[in-house]
Amino acid sequence: MPRLLQLQNIQIQRDNFSLGPFSKTFEWGGLHLIRGPNGSGKTSLLKTIFGRLQPLEGTILERPQTFGVVGLEGFLYETWSVQENFCFLRSFLKSPKTLPSEISPWAERRLDHLSAGQRRQVELALTLELPFEGVLLDEPLNPLDERAKKYWADKIHQALAPHRIIFITTHMPQELAQKPTSETILNEASV
C-alpha cells in the first residue's frame, strides 16, 4: 500500500484570509502541483504542510520528518559560502560528500554575493540533492532564465523517489518538464 500524506478538514486563518475546510490526499513519491491566483492560499497551504503555520482545525497525517524548502523561507546562511552551507547541511543529513556539479563554480562565493538566479539554483541544487523527505517549492523557477527553468524543471522530476514527496506552486504549469502526479487548484472561491 502506498504511503499517503493526508490533509483532513484543514482550516487556515491568516489576518483577513481563510482557507478551508480543505481535505486532500497526496501520494508519496509524487510531484504535487498547487496552483491558483495570488492570494488563493498556495503559500499558506505549503506553510501548513511544513508546520510553520498551524491550522485552526484539522489534521495532517504522514507529514514528512525533514523538509527542504525553496521560495518559502530561507534555510541557507547568506554570509556563508555555498560550500560552507553544503557542509553544514551535510553534517546532520546523510548526504553526498561532494557539492552538486551545477553549483560548484560558486563553491567559494558567499550566498549574498550571488545573483537572485544563482542563489535560487543553489537552493534548488541543495534541496533536491540532499535526502529531505518533503520538498516544498514555492514558485521555484521565477528568478531563472528560460534555459535554467528548463534544466531545473527536469531536475525536479529526476528528484522524485518513493521515500520523498514534492509540492510545487506555480502560475505557469507549462514550465514543468512532465505532468505532475496530482494538481490542486485553489481559487478565490476557496478563500
Note the pLDDT tens digit of each residue in 38-75: 888 899 999 999 989 899 999 999 999 999 999 988 88
Output the pLDDT for position 130.
87
DSSP-derived pairing of the beta strands 134-138 and 4-14 = unpaired
Note the pLDDT tens digit of each residue in 71-94: 988 889 999 999 999 999 888 777
From CA 51, how far away is CA 110, in angstroms rounded? 29
Q: Is the pLDDT of residue 189 over 60?
A: no
DSSP string, 103-114: GGGGTTSBGGGS
Domain ranges within the chain, ordered by starting residue: 4-75+133-190
The pTM of the full predicted model, rounded to 2 decimals, is 0.90
- Asked if 7 and 63 count as a contact pair (C-beta separation under 8 A), the reply is no
Look-up of cell digits 497551504: 45
From CA 6, how far away is CA 58, in angstroms rounded? 10
Output the pLDDT for position 188.
59
Note the pLDDT tens digit of each residue in 119-141: 999 999 999 988 899 999 999 99
- Topology classification of domain 4-75+133-190: Rossmann fold (3.40.50)
